[in-house]
Structure 1
Amino acid sequence: MKNFIYIFLLAVFIYSCGGNRSLRSDRVANAENDTVRIANDSLEYEIIIIEPGFNLFINSIAKPEGYYSQQYLETKNSQLVTEYNSRVRQPQRYNPSLYVNEINYERQIDYGYEVNYLLYNYFVYFSRQYNQRFIVPTRI
């Protein structure tokens, strides 16, 4: 089973398949388009964030890795993804250039700490950058 998680506008991709759940970090920061990427060896799960300013945010403003527990991040991400997907399905109410594609995030799948950390911080960045308030508080 493959899950495709994609946010573009800016973008987050998470691909998931059954099998080995251990993640190996593979961050690539590309200054040209400010890309952050995390993947495991077999590309079971991948998150790619292409957003001007996100790399600076994650490296200087966001709380450091380890600050939040994985359970906290999973709970927040589940709530934030639900709210985000709701907005994607309402283009007449929410800006469709901000809410492009739904995110397929399954709570029962262990994406690992780093994927959850980046996804959560993307929501924090997104809400600050585009002045979007989610029902779930996204304080850092």
Structure 2
Amino acid sequence: MRAIWVIILIFIAACASKKEVVRIEPVKTDTTATDSVEYELIVFDTGFETWYLTNSHPSWYHSQEYYEMWNQRFVNAWNYEYNSSRYHNLLDAPINYDSNIDYGLEVNHKLFYYFQYVQHVLKIPLLSDAPHLSGY
């Protein structure tokens, strides 16, 4: 009887609709004093936050331009792999990252480390010349 329940649960999990993996969205703030928009990175992988807190350097370790440059390359590689169907079952959705938008240092830092997580923990190769994390 237990085996039947396990099979049913596996079937339900396999039939679940695909969800976003990562999303960058504006955060609603009081804009009466300023005319700026803040962004927040939402990662749907439950293992990422713990890994991020234990493996990332402080956001000031590199410049925002450094993170933006690598993020643009990672996003291009991610979307290429997503569209090529090679990792389509692992990459649930394309990532919409606009290099003309200033997402800020914190969002770019976290996105950079999400790509590190994808490459080193999930073992999905995106860029062969990506920065190497110590310990991996």
TM (normalized to structure 1)?
Answer: 0.68
Q: CA RMSD in A?
A: 2.2
Q: Name which of 22, 34, 37 aligns with 1:12.
A: 22
Determine which structure has more spread, i.e. the larger CA radius of gyration. 2
SS in structure 2 at match of 1:89: helix
The superposition leaves residues 17-40 of structure 1 with CA deviations (integer Å, 9 ceiling, x where unpaired) of 9x94453xxxxxxxxxxxxxxxxx
Aligned mates of 1:21, 1:74 — CA distance in 2: 19
Aligned mates of 1:76, 1:21 — CA distance in 2: 24
Aligned mates of 1:134, 1:60 — CA distance in 2: 22
SS in structure 1 at match of 2:60: coil
> What amino acid sits opposite 1:85 in the alignment?
N
The superposition leaves residues 74-120 of structure 1 with CA deviations (integer Å, 9 ceiling, x where unpaired) of 000000000100011111xx222211211111111100011101111
The runs of at least 4 consecutive aligned structure 1 residues that moved more than 3 Å come to 19-22
User: What stretches of structure 1 of length at least 5 have no aligned partner?
Assistant: 1-6, 24-44
Structure 1 residues 82 and 21: CA distance shift in structure 2, 3 A: farther
User: What stretches of structure 2 of length at least 5 have no aligned partner?
Assistant: 1-18
Map of 1:63 onto structure 2: 57
The superposition leaves residues 109-139 of structure 1 with CA deviations (integer Å, 9 ceiling, x where unpaired) of 1000111011110000011122122224142
Is 2:132 the counterpart of 1:139?
yes
Q: If each structure's strand is expressed as a fraction of its own residues, which one has the higher value?
A: 1
Percent identity between the two aligned chains: 29
Is 2:100 the counterpart of 1:108?
yes
Map of 1:99 onto structure 2: 91
SS in structure 2 at match of 1:108: coil
Aligned mates of 2:37, 2:25 — CA distance in 1: 14
Q: How many residues align?
A: 108
TM (normalized to structure 2)?
Answer: 0.70
Aligned mates of 1:21, 1:138 — CA distance in 2: 31
